């Protein structure tokens, strides 16, 4: 038998009653059209109500049981002040804290007890202590070297066995070349007969500094990176070195020799390599020149221990 055309099949499907149609073809009735069962709604509401009551009863039980929490510990804010001319104890505590925090090392009690009182230079003992001593580093240095300051800091001739070439008695370390030049201006009265050594990289070549250190040098100023490089080259010698001045000046952003990231790392590399052990042995004296941040809590504890 031949097949019926497709158009007739579609007409026959339309004429079929709803009972004979497939399930997918039956339209779903809207939910609003269904009659609501009031009994079922009442049962649901009762269940919700009883559930709320149970929750409330549990809340009451929890409220009756008191939970004691530990009191929150409030951290005390560090009371920090800046001292223009810090004394020996203040300078030493600040420098040791900076060394330990930067290098993640703790100095033993034996090492700290072995430090002599003269390990730090107290600049406020100068004759001009009652006046504004800013810019008078030369006067402070004279007091530090005592009666021999003129021979040590102003002499211009080499002495065999006593004064070697390129061996300064005073070394000033700062964070920048501009600060090194500022110190040279303050030390101008001591550098008229014997020229100082400029040990920084800005506008200064290593060859020029090497030729400069072939003569007698009493005073040298510079930055940590170039100072270490010249010591490694065995051009800058430390046989006469007695006092090292650390610049505490902060720049516009608040960075100093101990906080400026790259310079700080270079400084501690220089210190650990050449200055740490002589300082512990009492062969070197350090000086923090400028305002020093002091923690009042630490100073109170030190005074109470004494």
Residue with tokens 């608040």: 254
CA angle 300-301-306, nearest 5°? 100
Closest CA to 175 of 241, 265, 274, 99: 265
Percent of the chain residues topping a pLDDT of 70: 67
Who wins on pLDDT, 299 or 148?
148
Least confident range from 160-169, 203-212, 289-298: namely: 289-298
Question: What does 150-202 look like in DSSP terms, one character per residue?
Answer: HHHHH--S-BTTTB-TT--SEEEE-SSHHHHHHHHHHTGGGSSSSPPEEE-ST
Q: Is 83 helix (H, G, I), strand (E, B) or coil?
A: strand
Q: What sign does the CA torsion over 189, 193, 199, 203 have?
A: positive
pLDDT higher than threshold 70 for residue 105: yes
Q: For residue range 59-76, what is the model confidence (pLDDT) as tens digits?
A: 555 555 555 555 655 555
Beta strand 285-289 pairing with 243-247: parallel
pTM of the predicted model as reported, rounded to 2 decimal places: 0.70
- The pLDDT score that the predictor gives to residue 129 is 44
Is residue 2's pLDDT more than 60?
no
Share of the chain above pLDDT 90, in %: 45
Average pLDDT on 80-87 reads 81
Q: Is the pLDDT of residue 135 over 80?
A: no
Q: Which residue has the higher pLDDT, 20 or 258?
A: 258
Q: Alpha-carbon distance 110 to 108, whole Å? A: 5
For range 119-127, the mean pLDDT: 68
- More confidently predicted of 84 and 91: 91
Q: Give the tens place of pLDDT for each residue, 7-23.
A: 555 555 555 555 555 55
């Amino acid at each position: 038998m031949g097949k019926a055309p497709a158009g007739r099949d579609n007409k026959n499907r339309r004429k079929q009653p709803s009972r004979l149609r497939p399930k997918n073809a039956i339209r779903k009735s809207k939910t609003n059209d269904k009659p609501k069962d009031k009994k079922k709604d009442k049962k649901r509401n009762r269940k919700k109500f009883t559930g709320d009551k149970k929750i409330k009863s549990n809340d009451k039980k929890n409220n009756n049981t008191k939970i004691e929490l530990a009191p929150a510990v409030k951290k005390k804010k560090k009371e920090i002040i800046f001292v223009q001319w810090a004394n020996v104890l203040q300078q030493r505590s600040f420098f040791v804290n900076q060394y330990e925090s930067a290098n993640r090392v703790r100095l033993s009690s034996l090492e700290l007890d072995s430090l002599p009182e003269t390990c730090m230079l107290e600049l406020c003992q100068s004759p001009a202590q009652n006046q504004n001593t800013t810019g008078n580093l030369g006067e402070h240095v004279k007091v530090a070297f005592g009666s021999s300051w003129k021979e040590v800091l102003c002499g211009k001739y080499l002495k065999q066995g006593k004064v070697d070439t390129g061996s300064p008695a005073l070394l000033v370390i700062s964070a920048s070349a501009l600060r090194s030049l500022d110190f040279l201006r303050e030390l101008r009265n001591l550098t008229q007969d014997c020229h100082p050594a400029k040990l920084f990289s800005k506008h200064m070549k290593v060859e020029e500094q090497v030729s400069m250190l072939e003569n007698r040098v009493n005073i040298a100023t510079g930055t940590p990176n170039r100072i270490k490089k010249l010591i490694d080259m065995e051009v800058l010698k430390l046989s006469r070195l007695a006092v090292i001045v650390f610049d505490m000046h902060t720049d516009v952003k608040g960075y100093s020799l101990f906080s400026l990231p790259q310079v700080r790392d270079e400084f501690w590399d220089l210190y650990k390599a050449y200055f740490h052990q002589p300082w512990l042995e009492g062969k070197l004296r350090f000086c923090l020149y400028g305002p020093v941040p002091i923690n009042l809590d630490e100073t109170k504890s030190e005074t109470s221990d004494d």
